[in-house]
Chain A
Amino acid sequence: MLSLKDINVSFDQQQVLKDFSADFNENQTTVIVGPSGSGKSTLLRTINLLNYPTSGTLNLNQTSFVFPKQYPAKEVSHYRQNFGMVFQNFELFPHLSALGNVIEGPIQVLKQSKTAATEKAKVLLEQVGLAQKADSFPNELSGGQQQRVAIARALAMEPEFILYDEPTSALDPELEGEVLKVIKDLAKKRNSQIVVTHNLNFAKEIADHILFLEDGQVNYYGLAEGFFSSKNERIKNFTKKMMS
């Protein structure tokens, strides 16, 4: 289980996450929703320690971080291997082919042999429907294809959790579906996923749990059904606005 307790994150004077606490279970898909600027990206980045909390504790299985203590870079890098991250802008490595992107982590970080990593990467590319594109470079791929490579890259590290930060919001609507389908398949296979999205219809389809973040604080965290049938005014307003 991934557990955040009383996490505070600030930029300059602005406090973005305020005593944030939540537990995330394995083999589930949790969708994080909330208005722009509510701290969704910051939350995902904090989970992966790309942002550093000013206070609070972070627990994943046996690993525990208590802030504001500074931890050695090595320990942080090691912890990050537990998470695969999928970014809004894909962030594929432009100098590497699709295959090169997928095997980079396994070879450089997990010290897998090139043969083993390549073999596995091919299976993953196949899984995201891009077996034919293994040798293409990012600038030769559409946005939807790039994002699917990015998902394969994240999966290749065999992380505990995959974190998605608005994975389709940089995509043209007609390319959205192919990426959503991959995420949905992974949800069905009971991968552990945390997904930030503005697409509430999609959230409805894949979410076991919904976390509704407002102004750096948890407004709702519970079963997806409960969220969509909530009588809470704030939630009703939000869902109405987002689904219209």
Chain B
Amino acid sequence: MDLMSIIDMVRQALGPIFIAGLQVTIPLTIVSFILALIIAGITAVSRISNSRILRFVFATYVWIFRGTPLIVQLFIAYFGLASLGLTLDAWTAAVITFGLNSGAYASEAIRAAILSISNGQWDAARSLGMSRLKILQRIIAPQAFRIALPPLFNELISLVKGTSLAASITLVEMFLVSQRVAARTYQPLIMYIVVAFFYLMISTILVGIQSYLEKRTTKHVGGNTHA
């Protein structure tokens, strides 16, 4: 097999994989991650609340979703629930599963960030007469956001890669497309390298966004990197 035909094959594979990335992998990641952040925020705040019940419920959620394989969670959501008559389409099952799974990890990052803010900040805000919710929103969240940023981006990057598991519940995302092209062309090595390259590109862009955000938010909070 000569170089020209390899190049030709790669070129033919690029289009479909790229489209799958644009139409499925990226939107799936974004929607799932937004869901994950909402769940994570609620979970983190509940886990530092005074309510035992809330703390227990959300700790249990984190325990389950961190303690079981993502692919098993996907199978339960897609195949398992269907057997109970609760049929989710692959896209919905994937968004819910990724949202809950990432949410569990992200909640730990956010919780740790909140806990790392000194009690003195709480005291200062309390002494102004601010309510707990106001303090979280106005004083703690902006500082915690900065601290949680790196672990949250870790989570986002592993989510991007994790979306490839959705291939196993028939969602036609980048990895499934590459599998199909590989089967058709009998070139698994080349095709899987191509799809790996796509994931690498997305991750690289995310790393860039991360360092941009870090530079913007580090100015006055934490760290000592201000100019």
Residues of chain A touching chain B, judged by Cβ–Cβ distance below 8 Å, are 45, 48, 50, 73-74, 77-78, 80-81, 83-85, 87, 89, 91-95, 104-105, 108-109, 137-140, 153-154, 157
Contact = CB atoms under 8 A, between A and B. Distances in A.
B128 A94 contact: no
Q: Among A89, A94, A138, which residue has the most Cβ atoms of chain B within 10 A?
A: A94
B190 interface: no
Contact of B220 (A48, A87, A89, A137): A137
B142 interface: yes
Nearest to B125: A93
Contacts of B220: 94-95, 137-140
B11 interface: no
Contacts of B134: 108-109
Given A77-B129, A108-B134, A137-B219, A87 B139 contact: no
Contacts of B222: 94
B149 to A, nearest CB: 13
Interface string B129-149: 111101000110011000000
Given A73-B131, A73-B132, A91 B120 contact: yes
A104 B128 contact: yes
7 contacts: A45-B123, A74-B131, A85-B127, A104-B138, A108-B138, A138-B220, A140-B220
Contact of A109 (B118, B129, B224): B129
A165 to B, nearest CB: 10
Nearest to B220: A137
B219 A81 contact: no
Contacts of B127: 48, 50, 80, 83-85, 154
B124 interface: yes
Contacts of A89: 120
Contacts of A157: 128-129
A14 B128 CA distance: 29
